Structure 1
Amino acid sequence: MPTEFLNTTVTLEKFPGKGGWTYAPLTGFDRVSQTHFGMQKVSGWLDEVELPTATLMPMGQGRLFLPINAALRKQLGKQAGDAVHLRLFAADDAAAAAVSLLDFEECLADTPAALRTFRALAPAQQQSWVAWVAAAADEQQVLRVEKACVLLAQGATERPPRG
């Protein structure tokens, strides 16, 4: 049985700029475990909506956030500035915390042009983008995903160089 590690109400926020994600900031709790790239797989509830699986992402300085995509916001009827009740459980399978193409596509979902460009890429190019994001330090991964959204929405096919 999964272990509950968070039961609280938070206010949804949005990263600034075009394509900025809406998210639930998570502070004031101990991380479930040290995981690959600082991401953590969880399940739980957001208000009355079940989250069968979700990925907490690093925000820097030991903080995490839960991305809230457009479909989930519509289901909740909420936007940035609205309060939501979170009840999260640690995922049973520690291996599920590894970053995947599906995780990256979920991040791109709020920028349809970026997602279309990404899905049109060859598998090796897709893996290159995911590896570029994953290679960054925890606090830089979010910035790389935001940059990827902008570049892919503009039609870029090659990821930026490492560094």
Structure 2
Amino acid sequence: MVECKFEAMIRRYAQNGDKTNWTFIRIPAKISSQLSESRKGFRVSGWLDGLHIEKVALIPEGGGNFILPLNNAMRKQIRKPVGEKIMVSMIADLEPPPLDPELIQCLRDEPEAWAQFSTLTPSHQRYFSTWVASAKTTTTRDKRIAHSVDAMMRKWDYGQMIRALKKVD
């Protein structure tokens, strides 16, 4: 893996659709192409002025350029305002995050559900896994696992399952 080190200015979009007021750093095409040949987003790990980052998403901006959004917690730790420069060191983190082990076990207990889940792309599998893992209580987590298994039995994708659950509420 190639480690890229460079200086980047903290920027903020004024008017830019759903990215209005986002704070970010730009990763120019000459640097992003060393990290990954993807024209779609990918994740990186590294350092932003001493702040360690892991599996942070880069978002395509066009022309081979990407942006790395700086959320509020990141900005507070960096302690620099828009217009200041930071030192960046990053590598592509192409290893997908692991899927929730309890979800996988429950899906494997139902061969039909597991077979359906296995046909999903890795990103669609992660929708289910992230949803389960984000539950704040054991009760909610168990319900989400049950809903996910049920969705696989019905051959639903994540969006269909969420829409069906909203109709019930």
1:10 maps to which residue? 8
2:25 maps to which residue? 24
**Does the 8 Å contact 1:42/1:88 carry over to 2?**
yes
Q: Structure 2: which amino acid aligns with 1:7? A: K
How much has 1:21 moved relative to structure 2? 0.6
**What percentage of aligned pairs have identical amino acids?**
24
Q: Once superposed, what is the RMSD of the aligned Cα atoms?
A: 3.1
Change (3 A) 1:34 1:23: same
Cα distance between partner residues in 2 of 1:6 and 1:55: 16
Higher helix share: 2
1:59 maps to which residue? 61
How much has 1:92 moved relative to structure 2? 4.3
Deviations 1:7-60 (A, max 9, x none): 01111111113941111111122253344x710111000011100221111001
Corresponding residue SS for 1:12: strand
**Does the 8 Å contact 2:2/2:35 carry over to 1?**
no
Contiguous gaps of at least 5 residues in structure 1:
102-122, 129-163
Change (3 A) 1:98 1:78: farther
The answer to which structure, 1 or 2, has the higher relative contact order (CA under 8 A, 6+ apart) is 1
Contiguous gaps of at least 5 residues in structure 2:
98-121, 128-157, 164-169
Deviations 1:56-78 (A, max 9, x none): 11001111111111110011112
User: How many residues are treated as equivalent by the alignment?
Assistant: 104
Q: How does the TM-score come out when normalised to structure 2?
A: 0.52
1:98-137 aligned at under 5 Å gives the runs 98=123, 124=159
**Does the 8 Å contact 1:39/1:98 carry over to 2?**
no
Q: How does the TM-score come out when normalised to structure 1?
A: 0.53
**Does the 8 Å contact 1:43/1:52 carry over to 2?**
yes
**Does the 8 Å contact 2:47/2:89 carry over to 1?**
yes
**Does the 8 Å contact 1:22/1:79 carry over to 2?**
no
Match of 2:43 among 41, 56, 61: 41
Q: Structure 1: which amino acid aligns with 2:26? A: P
Decide which structure has the larger Cα Rg and report it.
2
Q: Structure 1: which amino acid aligns with 2:63? A: Q
Cα distance between partner residues in 2 of 1:46 and 1:40: 17
